[in-house]
Amino acid sequence: MTENLPLAHDPKKDPFSNPLVLGRSSQEFLDAAETQIDVANYPGTFYAEVGGREIFAQLTKNFYSSVAEDEDFRRMYPEKELRAAQVRLQLFLEQYWGGPTTFSEHRGHPRLRMRHANYPVNGHYRDVWLGHMDKAIDQLELPMLQAETLRDYFERAAHSLLNTPDEHRNLL
């Protein structure tokens, strides 16, 4: 009788397989967030202007550190560890702001609304998310224009992801 040993990469249990990892393992995706990137290869981009990978890695680290301290909001993240979520956000933001296209190479088109469809995003959770992101941006101590550029983007993106109505309570 042969024993069923787990595969090194089981897509049914792989948090990156929703929808799927394109041709590379989750570990390669995680490792990609650690490689050195020369911002000189991305001239004229906001990515290069703010400092590249280092800034986006710190932004997402700050954000998920704040989320980890928020017991209620932390439940929105089903993964035991937040590192994978941090890397996904970091690589997405790097690509969005003109840096490497690692996110799409591994995960396909960002499809933000589709990827967030299974999570109840209402006004309350949008505001909580934005509060954690504002705190993360503040910790970077970027020049005001750069910080406000990030805030503007996150505000618009968070509003676009609303998919659950807020509960209305009649207080009268």
Percent share of the chain, pLDDT over 90: 59
Task: Supply the pLDDT for residue 24.
Answer: 56
Distance CA 67, CA 99 (A): 25
Task: Supply the pLDDT for residue 2.
Answer: 38
DSSP 3-state assignment of 153? helix
The number of residues in the chain equals 172
The token pair at 152 is: 């503007």
Distance CA 133, CA 87 (A): 15
**pLDDT per position as a tens digit, 34-89:** 999 999 999 999 999 999 999 999 999 999 999 999 999 998 888 888 998 999 99
Cis peptide before 110 (omega within 30 of 0): no
Average model confidence (pLDDT) across the chain: 84
pTM: 0.81
CB 98 within 8 A of CB 42: yes
DSSP state letters, 77-111 = --SSSSHHHHHHHHHHHHHHTTS--HHHHHH-S--
Distance CA 122, CA 133 (A): 16
The letter for the amino acid at 61 is K
Query: In the structure, what pLDDT confidence band is assigned to residue 25 with cuts at 50, 70 and 90?
Result: low
Q: With a cut of 90, say whether residue 117 has pLDDT above it.
A: no
Residue 81: is it exposed, middle or buried by C-beta count within 10 angstroms (0-12/13-18/19+)? exposed
**pLDDT per position as a tens digit, 156-171:** 999 999 988 887 444 4
Under 8 Å CB-to-CB from 8, ≥6 apart: which residues? none
- Lowest model confidence (mean pLDDT) among 9-23, 100-114, 126-140, 156-170: 9-23
DSSP 3-state assignment of 144? helix
